[in-house]
Structure 1
Amino acid sequence: MTFFEQQDRARQHTKKLVFLFALAVIAIVAAVNLVVALAWTVNSGTHHGVAHHYPKGFFAINTLITLMVIGGGTLYQMFQLREGGDAVAEMAGGRLVERDSTDLLERRLLNVVDEMALASGVACPKVYLLDDEDAINAFAAGYRPDQAVVAVTRGTLTRLTRDELQGVVGHEFSHILNGDMRLNIQLIGVLFGIQMIASCGQYLMDSDTRTSRRDRDSKGNSDSLLWFAVGVGLFAIGYIGIFFGRLIKAAVSRQREFLADASSHQFTRNPDGIGGALRKIGGLSRGKKLGSQINHPNAEQLSHLFLGTARPSFLSGWFATHPPLEERLKRIYGRNMPPLDAPELEQPAAEPGERQADLPFTAAGFAGAGGAAAFSAPTPVAAVGAGTPSLEFGNSHGTAAKLPSQLDGAARDPVAACAVVYALLLADGAKRDPQLALLNAEVPQQSALTVLLAESIAQLPRSARLPLVDLATPALRQLTPAGREQLLARVERLIAAGGRITLAEFVLQTILLHRLAPQGGRPTPITFDQLSDLSDDVAVLLSLVVHVAVPAATPNAYEARAAAFQRGTAACPGLGLSATHFRSGAELGFPRLRQALENANQLAPLAKPQLVKALLAVTDGACNTSALSIASADLLRALCAGLEAPLPPLVAAAYSDYPWQFDN
């Protein structure tokens, strides 16, 4: 099943969620009316079922109040989660793992997450750690793949080997890439709403215990006991919400766990990765303990997000939020597998001989050491505390080459990551002078660093530059909202200072706008159901890819471009596009391109793959070569980011000559 089919299935699950939510609301409203009616009857001394003793509009008012509580709770929770994954991770008690962390377990986690992100062509997600959870569990959250976060428990770090940790992260990346996360956040809001009645009951019971003895004596015990009884009744009704919550989660999440397990196996090519993690959860679950249990108060509400069952359940079968471990393991290995012991492992040790260049880099360290000297003065590992392996990429000769340590370190620091962005935008020759003048005027403390980083970037292969942006994204996302806006505005001024916008500048700005804009972490509305609603925008995007895939210097460029555009339009039958819709370079201004991509991102999920297929068709056979040029790959990478789509295999293959991998 493709990414877009998964997204469409998520939309279908949303309809099922709405139906079950309606059933839950009806059941809760009926139960609340029953409890309040009984309380009224007891308090008034009347007999059961004498309806004329109830005040006028009694049941209507009860129903309205109940609906307001449920609806208000849902809307409140959705508002709280409007920023996506970060809000969910904090709701679970997570702590952001800093990119410059020197804790070796945290470094290992960051490295594994970065590897998986760079291999899949999405921005490296932020990483959170649930420090107080000793069990093995993890989750991914966010509205969009490029805005995701990954969270793991402390037990996942201390009990799993690197291969097993990689299997867990691969499982969570399946949820990122398969479009599961948006539905998961919607589900959190729904569950909060239908469980609000239980919270009201808890409040009434707690209010009774807070009432002073003098107040109870002055008013009599009857009112206090009555409200306490109502609280008990409402709290019991809350289990209707829990029941329907489990039913909803089981309806939308069980099969996705099987898919995520299979995807993890596919990503890592190692069944003992995710398999070993699940077997260790089974080992921790011996006796009455649950090896994946989450103890945070919000665990029930978030249980559908996690890798394993977060809370013990008196419900099983169709009402379980996760498939049985035994069944998941059998699907991974093809046979029954016994559980494994899961003791805490020894802390990984830094390799002998690691130097300052392999350690986290900070902009403050650069400024304090006097610029470039900070990179040339090695410091023993013992003096800093821990080692951080450097990222590697293969070169055109098939051998491994270290990513320059200053780039590796700078990409992990929020301030220095901005300098990485500026360095990627620096032009050559005289065009660089106005850009440097702008930097000297606005951010003089970063100007020298930008020049130094630009020299290192110039030594990188072209295919390593956008992955460097992916690596820097988590640090850039740690900037304040004002800081992000300043960065994006300065990027625009740097491009303008350099003269006419280049392809590399368009690609970089498109990716940065998608990932760092104020609304970047929020869900994208679906406005257009069919590709035919956007014929003009499709022509603009196809024309852009044609210009890049078939450069002007190509022999018979006019005929080659016409043929390429025709291949793209042939992949979009029914749009009525012809050669007359091809746009010249002068017609492809950045504002028009941005608007076309924003509109295309509002397409329904199953309409997007047709557009991606058409964009790829344009490059098929361009310039008489079967390999996709890195220029075309960069452009398609940016367009896929704008469409919130994973990289097609053909695009990912353009970067495969330079695999990014960490040592530990």
Structure 2
Amino acid sequence: MNFFERQALAKRNTTRLVVLFAFAVVGIVLAIDLGVLLVFGGDPRLLVVSTLLALGVIGIGSLYRMASLRGGGESVAQQVGGVPVAEDTTDLHLRRLRNVVEEMSIASGVPVPKIYVLEHEPGINAFAAGYSPSDAVIAVTRGALERLNRDELQGVVAHEYSHILNGDMRLNIRLVGVLFGILMLGLIGRKILQHGGAVRGRDAMPVLFGALLALAVGYIGLFFGRMIKASVSRSREVLADASAVQFTRQTVGLAGALKKIGGLHDGSRLAERADAEEVSHMLFGDGTGLSGLFATHPPLLQRIQALEPGFKADGLERLKAQWLSAPPNGLDEDLQLGLAPAGHAALPGISTRIDLTPPMVAAQVGEPKQDDYRRADAIVATLPQELRSLASRRDGAAPLLMGLLLTDDDTVADRQRSEIIARMGLQVAAEARRLRDEHLRGLHPMLRLPLASLAFPTLRLRPRPELATFLDTVHAVVHADGQVSLFEYCLGRLLEVQLRESLDPARYARFGRRKPGNVRQEFATLLAVVAHCGNPSDPDQARRAYLAGMQRVLPRDHLPYAPPAEGVLALDAVWEPLDALDPLAKQVAVEAITDAVSHDGRVSVAEAELLRTICGVLHCPLPPMLERG
């Protein structure tokens, strides 16, 4: 199952959630109506009132909870007590976690998520939350940081990245909202019983009955809620384990983390049980202890045996006895296993031409492999230390990104500098110019987008008005000379998409339903721009590239090649319709674009950047290096 098929599965699970929620609501309303019928008789007006009241409470509860989660992943992490990990942290555990997350983001082609730690949780657990990769957070317990070695931590984080890439996060966060609604009646009944002592006389019995009925219905809601979470979650956890192994190309890390959950006293339980119940379907491991029909995760031994078929139950008992007196220490194990950061892999020579095929690119979308992790580690090591430091500093990310946008033409750069000064001040403009002159001019083109991805999580920490000013400045800098280069467009578009989605994540959380036949003209425009950018001085070659792409995506249509007069800016009109494509249609789209850029069998770095930008805007993340050396 590839990325697009998993996205389609997540889309079907969203529909399934709606159906299960509807059944739960019907069950709760029928239970309330039955109670009213038994006590007050069969007055139709009373039954209508009780039905409407129940639906109103459920609807208001769900809408309220979903509104409280509009902030996306950050809202969830903060509500369960998560503490953000500083970009410049010196804590060895947190630094190791940040390194793992940054490398995995570069390897998978998604923005670096915000990182949180649950400081007071000694169990081994983690979760990913958010509506889209642009607002995602990764949260890890302190127990996971202290007990897991680097391979095990990477396995856990890879498991969570599979939820980010597969579209599970938006389903998870919506599940929190809708389930709160069906639990509302029970919460109301409990509060009335707790604080209803002031009600006396003839009013006491109806109030007491209403509270008891609401409490009873609340348990029905709890039953349905747990059943829905278990139904939706278990199969996705199995898939996430498999994806994590596929990502890291080794089972030892993930299996080791699961063994430590089974062998240590704290396991994967969360101390805050109320929070654990609400987010149990998001967690890496079982946080509540529920089993049987209500279990949100497959049995631990079953998960381990899926990775190591020969592992037996008595193996967990031996580990429990071993770790009872001497619990494992993740950093010490890193030293013993040679996993401590003693250096980085060397970055191989990067060709200015890249070999690829449409099926290969489609297979790489959302599918980072072990080579991608090694390459990501090498990319981070190759970047100058000052640039990496600036990317992690709140006052450094904006000048760094502006410096990436400054052209080598000093006359145009002076105009761009004036635009920066007018909006962000002289200091930012001067620092951007210095970085361009001292570091960025000599930076290999294939390192520019990965560097920008490292700066993104720091940038989005700025207040909303500052981010609006930043985006306005990006637009002005890109258009300073009336012409937009391919790289300026790529970086500017990615920044705009990622920042706008992070500012209002719930607005952009959706699965598309359109088919290629509904967006013919948009495909024609996109492929014409791609073909022209790859062959600017050879119209015949560009036409062949265009036709190669159209043949794959719309083989029965005959739309002539017509490169737009506005060049790459014509793409502004195609993004929204194309992003609304069905997941499986997006796979065909990615293959068609690849056909257009690789019709001659080779792809330039500029074309590769455009391909990555298109995939990023369409939420089909690609690794930074497309070749499989």
Q: CA deviation at 1:524?
A: 4.4
Q: Higher mean Cα deviation, 425-434 or 84-93?
A: 84-93
- In the superposition, the TM-score normalised over structure 1's length comes to 0.82
Residue number in structure 2 paired with 1:361: none
The count of corresponding residues between Structure 1 and Structure 2 is: 584
For each residue in 1:373-394, what CA deviation from the matched residue of structure 2 results, as whole angstroms up to 9, or x when unmatched?
Answer: xxxxxxxxxxxxxx99998761
User: Among 309, 326, 331, which residue is 2:286 paired with?
Assistant: 309
User: Among 457, 473, 478, which residue is 1:495 paired with?
Assistant: 478
Residue number in structure 2 paired with 1:598: 576
SS in 2 for 1:483: helix
Q: What residue ranges of structure 2 are gaps of 5+ in the alignment?
A: 351-374
Q: CA deviation at 1:327?
A: 0.8
Q: CA deviation at 1:290?
A: 4.9
SS in 1 for 2:479: helix
Say whether the 8 Å CA contact 1:143–1:521 is kept in structure 2: yes
**CA 1:106–1:224: 2 relative to 1, 3 Å:** farther
User: Among 178, 181, 184, which residue is 2:169 paired with?
Assistant: 181
Say whether the 8 Å CA contact 2:548–2:599 is kept in structure 1: no
SS in 2 for 1:129: strand
Q: CA deviation at 1:291?
A: 3.0
1:449 aligns with 2:431: yes
Within-5 A mapping of 1:256-271 = 256-271=236-251
SS in 2 for 1:29: helix
Residue number in structure 2 paired with 1:322: 297
User: Among 412, 422, 444, which residue is 1:431 paired with?
Assistant: 412
Taking the aligned partners of 1:349 and 1:490, their CA distance within structure 2 comes to: 47
**CA 1:350–1:283: 2 relative to 1, 3 Å:** closer
Taking the aligned partners of 1:185 and 1:132, their CA distance within structure 2 comes to: 23
Say whether the 8 Å CA contact 1:182–1:523 is kept in structure 2: no
Within-5 A mapping of 1:137-536 = 137-208=125-196, 211=197, 215=198, 219-220=200-201, 223-224=203-204, 227-228=207-208, 230-284=210-264, 290-313=267-290, 315-316=291-292, 318-337=293-312, 338-339=315-316, 340-341=319-320, 343=327, 345=329, 394-396=347-349, 402-428=382-408, 429-442=410-423, 443-454=425-436, 455-517=438-500, 518-519=503-504, 522-525=507-510, 529-536=514-521
Within-5 A mapping of 1:561-640 = 561-574=542-555, 576-578=557-559, 580=560, 582-584=561-563, 586-588=565-567, 590=569, 592-622=570-600, 625-626=601-602, 628-640=603-615
Taking the aligned partners of 1:232 and 1:110, their CA distance within structure 2 comes to: 49
Q: CA deviation at 1:248?
A: 1.4
Say whether the 8 Å CA contact 1:140–1:149 is kept in structure 2: yes
For each residue in 1:485-531, what CA deviation from the matched residue of structure 2 results, as whole angstroms up to 9, or x when unmatched?
Answer: 11100011112224411001000011011101244563345565211
Say whether the 8 Å CA contact 1:431–1:499 is kept in structure 2: no
**CA 1:408–1:521: 2 relative to 1, 3 Å:** farther
Say whether the 8 Å CA contact 2:245–2:254 is kept in structure 1: yes
Higher alpha-carbon Rg: 1
**CA 1:588–1:112: 2 relative to 1, 3 Å:** same
1:105 aligns with 2:58: no
Taking the aligned partners of 1:299 and 1:348, their CA distance within structure 2 comes to: 30
Say whether the 8 Å CA contact 2:529–2:568 is kept in structure 1: no
Taking the aligned partners of 1:349 and 1:496, their CA distance within structure 2 comes to: 52
Residue number in structure 2 paired with 1:8: 8
For each residue in 1:5-51, what CA deviation from the matched residue of structure 2 results, as whole angstroms up to 9, or x when unmatched?
Answer: 2222222222222222122112211222344556x56xxxxxxxxx2
Q: CA deviation at 1:64?
A: 0.9
Taking the aligned partners of 2:161 and 2:88, their CA distance within structure 1 comes to: 22
**CA 1:174–1:528: 2 relative to 1, 3 Å:** closer
- In the superposition, the TM-score normalised over structure 2's length comes to 0.87
% same residue: 39
Say whether the 8 Å CA contact 1:113–1:124 is kept in structure 2: yes
CA RMSD of aligned residues (A): 2.7
Taking the aligned partners of 1:568 and 1:641, their CA distance within structure 2 comes to: 19
**CA 1:229–1:348: 2 relative to 1, 3 Å:** farther
Residue number in structure 1 paired with 2:30: 30
Taking the aligned partners of 1:334 and 1:551, their CA distance within structure 2 comes to: 55
**CA 1:583–1:144: 2 relative to 1, 3 Å:** farther
| Structure with greater helix percent | 2
SS in 2 for 1:459: coil
Taking the aligned partners of 2:33 and 2:421, their CA distance within structure 1 comes to: 69
